[in-house]
Amino acid sequence: MPGVVRTILILVAIGAAVVVGGLAGVVPLQPLPRAAAPRAQTSSPEDELAAALTQVPAQPVQHFARPLPGALAVATFGPDEAWSAGDRAQLEAPWGTAPALTLSSVDAREASADLRTTVDLSAANLRLTFHTDSAAALQFVGLALDTEAGAFKKFFRTDLTEVGKMPGNYTVNDGWNTIAKPKRFAYSSSGSGLTAADWAHIGAIRLIIKSKPNTTASVSFVRLEVVPVPPRGLVSLTFDHGAATIASVVAPLMAQRGYRGSVFVTPAQVGRTTDRPWASIAQLQALHAAGWDIGMHSFQGHPDFTTLPLAEVRRQFVLGAAWLDTYGFASPMKLIATPNVTWNEDIVAITAQYYAACRCAGGWGVFPPEDRYLIRAVGVLQSDRPEKVLEAAKTAALYKEWLILNFHYFDEGSYDYNYSSSDFAELLDGLASLDVEVLPMSEVVARLP
C-alpha cells in the first residue's frame, strides 16, 4: 500500500468547525463534535509528504488577477485615459508591468475618479482588478455607472466589497485583488430602477474608495474588464464534508431528476462513524461513477487555511491531491473547496499548483468567475426555506449568473447546517421549472475560457 494511502487510512479528524455564508450572509462559527484521538503514524509526516509530491508534482501557476482571457478591457489606466483624479504609476504585476491609477482616502472621506467612456453592459458584468497595502483600513471599493455622459445625475452604484454587509465575503486582502460582483447589486440613489436601455448605454464610470475613520487607505486600479454572461443561468449543488446521507439520501433524489452534484470530503473522516456516519470509499466511488465530482475540502480537520503556516497548507493540499489521485477522483478534474470561505494570495497560489479549480470564496457568483481559483458559493441553512432558495435561483436565471448552493448535512434534526430531505426535494422540483442548467462544478469550470 503506498505510503500516502497508508497515512490517509490512519489519520482521523482532529476537530472541526464550520463557517459558511447563508443566503442571508455569513453565519457564526459552530463546532462539530470532536472525533476520536489520532492513531499512531507509521512514518514521518516529512516522508509521507515527499511520497505525495512524487505523485502530484506542482503545476505551473497563472496569477488569479491576471487579465481574463477573452475579456474586453474598458480601462487599463494608461496615460491615454482621461481620468478626472488619482495618481498615475507603473506597478510590477505578476503578469508584467501594468499602468495604475491610485486613489487615497483619509478619515472615512470618499475619494473618486471619473472616466467618460461608452460601454454596453446589457449582457455583461464588470471585473475590476486592483492592488492595495491597506486592506484593513478600507470600508469599501465602489463603482458607479452613469447612464449619460458624465454628469452623474442618473447613475447606478455598487459597493464591490461591502465590508461587513450582506451578502458578504467580497473581501479585500493586502496584495492583488479581483472582484466581479453581479451587476444586479447596483442601486440608484434616486430610487429609479435599472432598464435594459440603461445598461446598454453606459456613458461614464466612477471608481470610489472609502477608508475607515481615523485611517488612510490607498488602492491602485490596474484593469476594468467587460465579462459577457453565458446564454443561460447556471446552478451547481455542492456538499461539504461528505456525510453518508449525501450518498444514501441526496444522490437518489437528484438522480430521479437527472441532476448530479459535487461533494468535497475530508479524507480523515471517510468511512468513519465517530460523530455521524461518513460516506465510505465505496459510496464515493459509486457517486463518481454516476457523474458526481469528488473533491477535497481539507485533508484533516476544518482549518481556516489563511491562519496556518504555509508549510502546513501545502502539506494538506498535496496529501489531499494525492488522495484524489489514488482513488480515481482526479477525473474529470481535481477540485477543492476550502473551509470557511477565506482566502489570500498565498492560499490561491498554492491551490493552483495542485488543483484545477477552487471554490475558495463566498458570495454570489458570475460566469465566468473572477478566476477558476476564486469561485464563490452561497451556503444554505436550515432556516432557508425552498421558496427562498428558489428566489436566488430565479435571479441567477434572469441575470445569467452562476449560483453555487452549498449544503452540509441532511435529516439530522434541529441544526443550522442540517437541511431536510423533503425541503431539498421541493427545491429540486423548483429548479426543474427554471431556465437554468444544473451542473456539477467541474462541467461549468470546463467551459471557462
Whole-angstrom distance between the N-terminal and C-terminal Cα of the chain?
Answer: 39
What distance in Å separates the CA atoms of residue 242 and residue 435, rounded to the nearest whole number?
29
**For position 162, what pLDDT does the model report?**
52
Average pLDDT over residues 411-431: 95
What the block records as the C-alpha cell of 54 is: 512524487
**pLDDT the model gives residue 425:** 98
- Chain mean pLDDT for the chain: 85
Chain Cα centroid distance, residue 126:
17
77 φ/ψ sector (left φ>0, alpha ψ -120 to 50, else beta): left
CB-facing half-sphere around the CA of 28: CA atoms within 13 A: 2
Tell me the per-residue pLDDT of 13-71, one tens digit each, with 9 for 90 and over: 323 333 333 453 333 223 333 333 334 445 666 677 778 878 888 899 999 999 988 88
3-class secondary structure, 286:
helix
Instruction: At 321, list the grid cell.
Output: 491531491
Sequence ranges of the domains in the chain: 3-55+232-445, 72-227
pTM to 2 decimals? Answer: 0.86
The amino acid sitting at 257 is: R
Q: What is the pLDDT of residue 408?
A: 96
- Is residue 243's pLDDT more than 90? yes
Q: What percent of the chain has pLDDT over 70?
A: 86
Decide which of 3.40.800.20, 2.60.120.260, 3.90.1860.10, 3.40.50.720 is the CATH code for 72-227.
2.60.120.260
pLDDT at 92: 95
Write the burial class of residue 311 (CB in 10 Å: 0-12 exposed, 13-18 middle, 19+ buried): exposed
Residue 212 pLDDT exceeds 90: yes
pLDDT at 269: 94
Taking only the tens place, the pLDDT of each residue in 266-311 is: 999 999 998 899 999 999 999 999 999 999 999 999 999 999 999 9
Which class for 262: exposed (0-12), middle (13-18), buried (19 or more C-beta within 10 A)? buried
Contact assessment for residue 441 and residue 404, using Cβ atoms and an 8 Å cutoff: yes
Length of the chain: 449
Structural contact between residues 402 and 364, judged by C-beta atoms closer than 8 angstroms: no
Q: Whole-angstrom Cα distance, residue 190 to residue 156?
A: 9
Residue 169 pLDDT:
55
Task: Say how many CA atoms lie within 13 Å of 86 toward its Cβ.
Answer: 27
Model pLDDT, residue 14: 27
* 5 confidence band (pLDDT: 50, 70, 90): very low
Taking residues 139-156, what's their average pLDDT? Answer: 80
168-206: pLDDT as tens digits: 457 788 999 998 888 777 766 555 566 778 888 888 999
62 vs 374: CA distance, rounded Å = 13
Q: At what angle do helices 310-326 and 345-354 cross, to 10 degrees?
A: 30
**Mean pLDDT computed over 373-380:** 94
* Class of the CATH domain delimited by 3-55+232-445: alpha beta
Distance of alpha carbon 48 from its chain centroid, rounded? 30
